[in-house]
Structures are given as C-alpha cells and as structure tokens.
Chains A and B, each alone.
Chain A
Amino acid sequence: MGCGMPLTRASGGEVISTAVATPPTSTSPPLADSRPPADTPEWTASAGSAEIFSPETMILKVKDLRTYFYTYDGVVKALDGVTFKVHRGKTTGLVGETGCGKSVTAFSVTRLIADPPGRIMSGEVLFEGADLLWGLKEEAKFTPIGDTGRVKVKRKFRRIKAANERMSAVRGRAISTIFQEPTQAMNPVFSIGDQLSEVLLLHRGMAIIDEMMKATPDSPAVGRAGAQLIDAARTGVREEIRAAAIRFGEAAHAPSVGTQAFYIVRATTSRPDELRRELGRSLDRLRLGAGARRYLRYQRRLLEIQEKLNEVYFSEMTERAPHTTARLGLGRRAGQLRLSHFYYRIPLVRSRLDRALKRELFWRVVHLLEGVSIANPVQIARGYPHELSGGMLQRVMIAMSLSSEPDLLIADEPTTALDVTIQAQILELMRDLKTRVGTAILLITHDLAVIAEVADDVCVMYAGVIVEKGPVREVFRRPLHPYAQGLLASIPRLDQPSKELTSIPGSVPNLISPPTGCRFHPRCPYAMEICKTAPPPMTIEGPGHTVACYLYQGPVENA
C-alpha cells in the first residue's frame, strides 16, 4: 500500500473498494454541475474557461457556507453564504477587513470553529470529492425560545465527536494550516524538533519505519562513500561535502544519515579519525537490535491501523454514509495491539527502544528545516519556540504544515505579525513552494499588496459574504464591486505617491444585525433602492470574474 500518499483509498474492506473502482471526482454529483451553464456568453462556454472550472483542476469547493456564533448578545452571522473554489497548484487569496469572516472561513473549512459558541449552519465543503460537512444537520438542534428571537442550541456531542474523528483523516495531512500567530500555535514546552517529529511520525511514519528497516549500514558501498566523504571534508568546499554526504546517505539507504553526516562534517572540521568515529556512530543508530525491530514493527502496525481508519473516514465523507463496522473493527484491533504490547508503555523500556526512531525523525526534521531555508537547522531543532523570532517560527510552522505533503495549504495571515523584510522572505518561500511542490494555497490576508504579489485568484470578502471573485490581474485592473474599488483606492501606493487617498465612509457593520439586502449598501456611493431589499446575486462579468452587485447585469453564476 502506498504509505507516502496520505489519502490512497486502497482496499480495506468491501465498502471501501467501491470507492476505488471509480474516481471520486467524476461520480459525485455536486461537482458535476459546476460546469458553466449553457446560456452564458461565449467566453464562459469556451474551451479555456471550461477547463478552468472542471473538477479535475479543482481541489476545494465551498458552497453557500454559513457559520454563526451564538453569543449572549445575539446570533453573529459571521459567514452568510460563502461560495468559492480553490484550484490545484494555484494560490487563491481571500481578502477583506477585520471581522469580515476570512479566518472563520478558513476554520470552517477544516471544522476548527470553537463549538460552542460557533456552529457551521449549512453549506458544502467539498474536498477531493469528500464532503467535509457531512452529517452537519444531525449535530445540533435549534429551538427558538418563545418569541424572543433567541435560539436554544442543543448539541449532540457524540455526533460532533464522530465528525471530529473523521476530520483527522483530512486535517494536517491533506489540508494543513499555517496560523496567524506562530508564537501561539507552537507548544512552548516541547522542543521544535520534538514537535515536528510528532507531525512527521503521524503522517509519514509508516514510510519512515519501512526505510529504517531497509537501511544497509554495513554494505561495502557505505564504506566507500564514507571514505569519499572524508576526502571531500578535507577540501572544505561546501557543495562537495553536501554531495558526498548525500551519496553517503544513499549508500546506507538512509537519507537522514546523509543529512546527519553533512552536519557532522561541518561540526568536526578536517580531523579524519574523529570524523570516521562520528560517522560510524551515526551509522550505529541504523543497526537495529531484535527488540528495536519488534518495537518498530509494533509502531508501524499501529500507524497502519490509523491509516486504514483514515481511509474509512475519508470514504465515509465521500459516500456520506457511516461504515461503523469497519471503524469499530479497526478500533478493536488497535486496542488489542496496545494490550498485547503493554510493556512498551513502561518508560524505561520504551525510551531504549524508540531511540533509533527518535534520532531518525530528528534528522528528517533537520532536513525539513533546511527546506524552508533556516540557516542552522540543528540548533533550531534542538531549541524551543521562545528562542526564535517570529519570522523563524513562521518558517518552522511552514515546514511543519508541509511535512505531510498536503494537497491544500491554508495560510491564515501568515505574514501579518512580521516585519516587511521578513514578510518578503516568507512570501518568496510560498511562491517557491507553489512552483516546486505544486501545493494549492488558500491565502488569507487583509493586505491587498500581498495578494497581488502571491495569489492567482482573489476573493474579496465583506461582512461575511464574498462580494467579488476573479483572477488577480482581472480584479486589480478592473475592480467591479464598489467595495473592492474603495479598498484598492484606499491603499497608499509606494509606486504612486501623489495619489490622493480615498476612504470608504463609515465602518464595518455589526454582524448581529447586518444591513438588509446588500451588506455594503450603507457605505456604498452607488446604493439604490433595490440594494436595501434583497442581497444581490453573484453575476458573471468576465472570464472567471464574478461580482455580487446590482450595478452589473451579467448572467447569474450557479456554482
């Protein structure tokens, strides 16, 4: 079974194999009707735009998402019908002012809304054919209290817990999130290496254990590569040492040893005997005793059960029906396994046996940190979050969220807490990521300039609704919604200093009692009578460019 792929739906039972037989994207009906309607103008029906909207290129589709917060002051309608799509390998920006619901959208997609007080009320979040909001209706009952206008929410916590467990198949491994405050997202009492190791073990553990088992520390090739590495160390050329260290790792069939060897050479400069001893010591951790091997096999079986469980969860969300028997069976197997190996829970036994795994993970973490251009990854991995600056921690967060090779990365204001020079570094990293790894990114920010720099598509949000969507160039060149226009006109521009700053009068409305009709109408310079009565529909005004405003009479989008 493909251990590296987080969401491979391999045969794990009768029910699951049906999901394998047919690709999920082509069968699920809500995705099929996302094609443009027939009576649209020629540019929407053309081959190019049809390709853009096809489900093969689409990774996330959010439709009519509503998230409310039940507070003592009333119901805060934080999201009121949010619809957007994220395409594969593309960066979609979500931009808006404070309190417009950007972060609530991100948290709703991964179902991380604090509940209570928040609740996702309705909508669809389709991720690779799986409905992440499946079973939402059964999770809570709403009964109005008399005629006070207030609502009593009765939550069914067993349902909520089940949904939470299902989401573990997606969170972190298929969709991972970078949070706004890196200092608050990390655990202060564990070292950075340990925190990243945990994530690695959880998401890539089986592959790592397999590689550890297959390592060949005693093959003659290792000796030859080691001698070459010692020669390269004498030259002192960084690139040569790096290449030789990688070859050394490959010879031992353990890439992490390559990483470790590089830092061993850097730490012990040009002392061949010392170097040889240190390299030998790093190979020692690959020579697993019988007990350690047994322990690794036990760990691997636990991870395998978890993986199968995740597959069951994922197929549940795809087919929207619970596979309770499969789920219970796997749960029982994990319980039996833990019981039959209860001595692994004795701290002294365990710490001796998992030393090899810990070291393997540590050096893989170092490799991950190298990937986000951290200068001295070994020290950083040994350090604790408070020792790092915000920019460094944000890189660690990025490394952590990328360690599971997610299909979708949600970046919630990744640079807001950082200085401009550090922001430039992080944006550079994200751009690089998009081209190198091809991860789809949902970028949430209040900074239009960041969107312009990184995003391919943009959604402008205002007071819990998306008012304009489209390709970045299109929206910035020709903003249609009065709010988007006002927002663009109000940024001070470095390249156009003499520009008069215009401001949008008024301020963001209270979402407990939002304005009727179009939520922007109290601040809108073009407000008409109709704006006060009914919310405007999303109309198509250009290739991929839609807007919710009565000023425009394009064909109505039915996503």
Chain B
Amino acid sequence: MSTNGMDAPVVLSVRNLRKYFPIRGGFFGTRVGDVRAVDGVSFDIREGETVGLVGESGCGKTTVGRMLLRLIEPTSGHAYYRPPEDVEDRLDELYRQLPATTGANNGGSSPPVRPQVVTELDQLAAKYSLYRKSPRAMRKLRGKLQIVFQDPFSSLSPRMLVKDILSEPLEVHHAGTRAQRAARVTQLLRDVGLNPEHEWRFPHEFSGGQRQRIGIARALALRPEFIVLDEPTSALDVSVQAQVLNILKKLQVDQRLAYLFISHHLSVVRAMAHRVVVMYLGVVVEMADTDPLFTQPLHPYTQALLSAIPIPDPELKRERVVLQGDVPSPAAPPSGCRFHTRCPAVMPICSQVDPPMLEVRPRHWVACHLYPQGIEAAAPSESTASMPAPLADTPLSGTAT
C-alpha cells in the first residue's frame, strides 16, 4: 500500500511535542495542575503521504493536529517545516542524546545532556521550527498548511455564499486578480466533484457530504502542501463517507499532498493511511506502516483497539480482547506506562518505568516493555506475533521482567 518510501522529502518533522492545559482553581484562579493532553509526540510526515493518527476520544489526537497549524501553541517541542535531509539526520542524532521520554515519568536517572546539543537544537529550531516563525513568516506558511474540520455543519459560515467561502483564503493571501480567483473557485468546485453553479448557494442548501467537500475545497484553495484532516468523515453516513474518502485520495495523488488523517475509526484509517501513529492518553504507543500495524500490531493497546472493531461480516467470529474500564484522566495519568491500568499483559515494571519508543522492527516503533531493546534479532517475529496471539504466552514477555 505504501507506495512512497523513505525517499520523499519530509514536510513536517514533529519532535517531542507537548501541550499541557492548565487547570485553574483555588484562590485567584491559580494553576492547580495540568491536563497533559499531549505529552511528547514525535513523527514525520512526508510529501504525498497520509499519516493516520488514531486513538480513543480524549487521547490528544485533535490537539496534535491543531498544534501543527499553530492553532494551539505547544507547551514545548517543535515541528520542523521542510528540514533538508542532512538537517533531518542531524536532528535525529541530537534528539537521541536528549533524555528518552518524558523525564518526569522516568524512574531511572539519565545522563546529563551536553550543553552543545541544546544550543545546536536551539539554532536548528530557530531556523526550521514552526513555533519560532515570526507572525509574518507564519502567515505565508499558513497557505501551505491547511485543515478540514470534523463537523461540516459548524465549520462553514451560514451567511456566506459558497463562492465567498472559497475565495476568502485567496483574498486574504492576495492571490491573483478577481477574475483569476473566480476561475480558481470554479476549478476547486470541480476538483471536489461539485457543480460550478453551486457557488451561488449557501451552505445550508447542501447535504453533509457536500458541505464536507466544500470544506475540502476551501482547504485546497491556496494549493497547500499539508492538510490536517480532523475526523473528516465521522459526521457523515457510510455511503457518503466513501465519496469523500475517494476525493481525498484522488487529490493526494494529483497534488502530492501530505495528510495527517485524524480518526478514531480504524477501518477508515486503514483505507486511507500509509503510516499510522497510535496514541493513548497523550503519548504515542506505536507507529508503523499501515499494513504491518494492522496485520501484526505489537502494543497491547493497538491489539485491543483492533480487536474491538466490529467487522461487517456475520460469518467471521474472532477472539477479542475487551479492555476493561475507561481511559484514565489525562490530568493525573498513571505512573510508568500510561496503559498499565488497562493492559492485559501488565508486568511489575510497567507501573514504574515509562517505556521508551524503540524501533522493534524496521520502520515499526513501539513503546512497550514487552519488547525490550535488541529483541528484533532474537525474536522469530513474523510467525509468533500474529494478531490474536495470547500476550502472556509470547516469548517476549519473559525477557523483560
């Protein structure tokens, strides 16, 4: 499925992104705590690639998407915009020398960071990070980074004609003459499968699927490089959802768009994404190409998530891992691995040490104590870790304790 490998240039390189929302309370509304919505998220998005971001509600998916557009300012961390290849490699090297993950959660003491690393990272961030761009530079970039919102009923102004909705971004960015803008609007409507005469209508005259297509057309107006698709089809019916997904796929091929596809609907992600990032309670637990992730998920959370999805085939009966309980509150996340309270394969170490993100197989990262370092050489990976394997019995679990 993943046609574009590692060779395509990186559009956004996200490193250690964090967002803590303060909880205000007490006397004079002082800060009494933090909701750790996003707590150290790192991944790359390449040209022409769809990265799927999945997780349950409240795991920080949407916050990540909005931070990538600077609709929300992160607490710390960076998103590097189009770093050259050598810079990308250097970044990886520098980040490797930083303490592995969230520090606060980590029981073990890490070696002190050399000051050179910090200064060099700072210099690179000043040059490439989105969050260091001046307002003027950022405004230029905003045309390149766009978003399609979840709810097509509230994301379009009810008082504007479709043509005004679509030409507004062009006007804001002073793109072309009036006639050119009008031509672009017609072109955009055609691109998303609407009729040019629809431009004289108001949003309320359209169905949900058509409105979502208007939202997509608006995002496309400035010829972006990267679009955040924040649950673009969850408000739509299945028959219409397929229309929207197909349009998105076609546009990606035509314009080499990079997508961040945020969804809790895993079957949709499987149909759309080249790579998938699985989040749980603000952290990334697993990251891999789509096919390996869905056929051989490694993290117990991913396994549970996959087995929880109902399959529209009554003849198919599966073993399922039903997770007990609810997602814990991100204001007081569990110690160590955040999933240990619901994990079916929990070990003593899980409640103490936050597992680091490791490349267990080529291009397959997972943060779980079941897969300690260097295991990819020892484990006969392809055969044992098939999907419904009982977790406790895998040879991997014994080595970690």
**Chain A interface (Cβ < 8 Å from any Cβ of B):** 97-98, 375, 389, 391-392, 419-425, 427-428, 446-453, 455, 472-473, 476-477, 486-488, 490-495, 497-498, 501-505, 507-508
Q: CB < 8 Å: which of A375, A392, A424 contacts B308?
A: A424
A427, A452, A498: residue with the most chain B Cβ atoms closer than 10 Å: A452
Nearest Cβ on chain A to B126's Cβ, whole angstroms: 40
Question: Are the CB atoms of A494 and B306 closer together than 8 Å?
Answer: yes
- Which of A98, A375, A473, A476 contacts B237 (CB under 8 A)? A98
- B residues near A455, Cβ cutoff 8 Å: 314
Contacts of A504 in B (CB 8 A): 239-240, 242
Of A425, A490, A493, most buried by chain B (CB within 10 Å of CB) is A490
Among the listed stretches B176-184, B263-271, B346-354, B375-383, which one makes contact with chain A, having 4 or more residues with CB under 8 Å of it? B263-271
| Alpha-carbon distance A508/B206, docked complex (angstroms) | 11
Q: Given contact pairs A491-B267, A497-B294, enumerate 14 new A-B contacts (beta carbons under 8 Å).
A: A420-B309, A449-B309, A453-B311, A487-B239, A488-B312, A491-B238, A492-B242, A493-B267, A494-B266, A494-B306, A494-B309, A495-B316, A497-B1, A503-B239
- 1/0 per residue, CB under 8 A from A, across B92-103: the answer is 000000000000
Is B57's CB within 8 Å of the partner chain A?
A: yes
Stretch of B5-13, B144-152, B217-225, B317-325 at the chain-chain interface: B317-325
B314 x A501 contact (CB < 8 A):
no
List 12 A-B residue pairs with CB atoms under 8 Å apart, sorted by A's residue number: A389-B326, A420-B305, A421-B304, A425-B323, A427-B310, A476-B314, A486-B239, A492-B245, A494-B306, A495-B311, A503-B242, A507-B210
Q: Is B290's beta carbon under 8 Å from chain A?
A: yes
Can you list the 9 inter-chain pairs with the closest CB atoms, starting with the nearest?
A: A503-B242, A449-B310, A424-B308, A492-B271, A490-B242, A504-B239, A97-B237, A507-B207, A503-B243
Q: Which residue of A lies closest to B240 (CB)?
A: A507
Return the contact of A490 from the options B239, B270, B305 (Cβ within 8 A): B239
Rounded to whole Å, the gap between the CB of A467 and the closest CB of chain B is 13
B313 surroundings in chain A (CB, below 8 A): 452, 476, 495
- Flag if A448 contacts B315 (CB, 8 Å): no
Assess A453 versus B315: contact at CB under 8 Å? Given A487-B238, A503-B242.
Answer: no
Contacts of B327 in A (CB 8 A): 419
**In chain B between 318 and 356, which residues have their CB closer than 8 angstroms to a CB of chain A?**
320, 322-327
Q: Are B238 and A97 in contact (CB under 8 A)?
A: yes
C-alpha gap A169/B162 in the complex (Å)? 52
The reply on B209 being an interface residue by CB < 8 A is yes
Q: How many residues of B contact A (CB 8 A)?
A: 46
Contacts of B186 on A, CB cut-off 8 Å?
Answer: none
Chain B residues near A375 (CB, 8 Å)?
A: 324-325
* Contact call A419/B242, Cβ cutoff below 8 A: no
User: Separation in Å of the B42 CB from the closest CB of chain A?
Assistant: 24
Q: Is the CB of B246 within 8 A of A503?
A: yes
From B266, B270, B310, B326, residue with most partner A Cβ within 10 Å: B310
Decide: A421 and B323 in contact? CB cutoff 8 A.
yes
Interfacial chain B residues near A449, Cβ < 8 Å: 267, 309-312
The answer to the question of B56 belonging to the interface, with a C-beta cut-off of 8 Å to chain A, is yes
- B291 beta carbon closer than 8 Å to chain A: yes
Nearest CB of A to B301, in Å: 9
Most chain A CB neighbours (cut-off 10 Å) among B237, B240, B304, B312: B312
List the B residue with the shortest CB-CB distance to A450: B310
Residue A494 contacts which of B56, B245, B270, B315 (CB distance < 8 angstroms)?
B270
- Chain B residues contacting A508 (CB-CB under 8 Å) are 207, 237
- Cα(A428)–Cα(B323), bound, Å: 11
Judged by a CB distance under 8 angstroms, whether B397 is at the interface is no
Q: Which residue of A lies closest to B56 (CB)?
A: A419
- The residue that B238 contacts in the complex, of A421, A424, A490, A494, with Cβ under 8 A, is A490
B16 lies within 8 A of chain A by Cβ: no
Q: What CA separation (Å) do A464 and B326 show in the bound complex?
A: 37
Q: Which residues of A contact B265 (CB under 8 A)?
A: 492
Nearest CB of B to A490, in Å: 4
**B241 CB-CB contact with A under 8 Å:** yes
Q: With both chains docked as a complex, state the minimum distance between the C-beta of A512 and any C-beta of chain B, in angstroms.
A: 15
Which residues of A have CB within 8 Å of B208?
98, 507
Cβ of A486: which chain B residues have Cβ within 8 Å of it? 239
Contacts of A505 in B (CB 8 A): 243
Residues of B within 8 A of A493 (CB): 267, 311-312
- Which residues of the other chain, B, contact A425 by a CB distance below 8 angstroms? 322-324
**In the bound complex, CA of A51 to CA of B270 (Å):** 43
Is the CB–CB distance between B322 and A428 below 8 Å?
A: yes
- Residue interface bits B260-287, CB-to-A below 8 A is 1, else 0: 0000111110110000000000000000
Q: Which residues of A contact B316 (CB under 8 A)?
A: 495
Q: Which residues of B contact A476 (CB under 8 A)?
A: 312-315
Let me know if A498 and B1 touch, CB within 8 A: yes
Evaluate contact between B310 and A452: CB separation under 8 angstroms. Answer: yes
Residues of A within 8 A of B238 (CB): 97, 446, 448, 487, 490-491
Give A473 to B320 CA distance when docked, in angstroms: 20
Task: Evaluate contact between B271 and A501: CB separation under 8 angstroms.
Answer: yes
CA gap between A429 and B314 in the complex, in Å: 18
For residue B268, which residues in chain A have a CB less than 8 angstroms away from its CB? 492
Inter-subunit contact B56/A502 (CB<8 Å): no
Nearest-CB distance from A117 to chain B (Å)?
A: 20
Q: Contact partner of B290 among A97, A473, A497, CB < 8 A?
A: A497
Least Cβ–Cβ distance between A105 and chain B, in angstroms: 17
Instruction: Find A497's partner among B245, B264, B291, B320 (CB 8 Å cutoff).
Output: B291
Nearest CB of chain A from residue B321's CB, rounded to whole Å: 9
Q: Are A424 and B314 also in contact (CB < 8 A) when A491-B238, A494-B266, A501-B245 are?
A: no
Given known pairs A421-B308, A503-B239, A503-B246, the reply for A494 and B320 (CB within 8 Å) is no
The CA of A504 and the CA of B237, in the complex, are separated in Å by 11
B241 touches which one: A488, A490, A497 (CB < 8 A)? A490
Tell me, in angstroms, the Cα distance from A492 to B242 when the chains sit together. Answer: 8
Task: Give Cα A491 to B236, complex, Å.
Answer: 12
Residue of chain B at shortest CB distance from A494: B267
Q: A371–B201 Cα gap in the complex (Å)? A: 53
Complex Cα–Cα for A422 and B56 (A): 9
Which B147-163 residues have C-beta < 8 A from chain A? none
Question: How far is A239 from B266 in the complex, measured between Cα atoms in Å?
Answer: 38
Taking a contact as CB atoms under 8 Å apart, the answer to whether B242 and A448 are in contact is: no
CB distance from B310 to the nearest CB of A (A): 4
Minimum CB–CB distance from B266 to chain A (whole Å) comes to: 6
Cα separation A492 to B236 with both chains bound (whole Å) = 13
Report A-chain residues with C-beta under 8 Å of the C-beta of B209: 507
CB contacts (< 8 Å) of B314 on chain A: these are 452-453, 455, 472-473, 476
Q: State in angstroms the CA–CA spacing of A531 and B325 once bound together.
A: 51
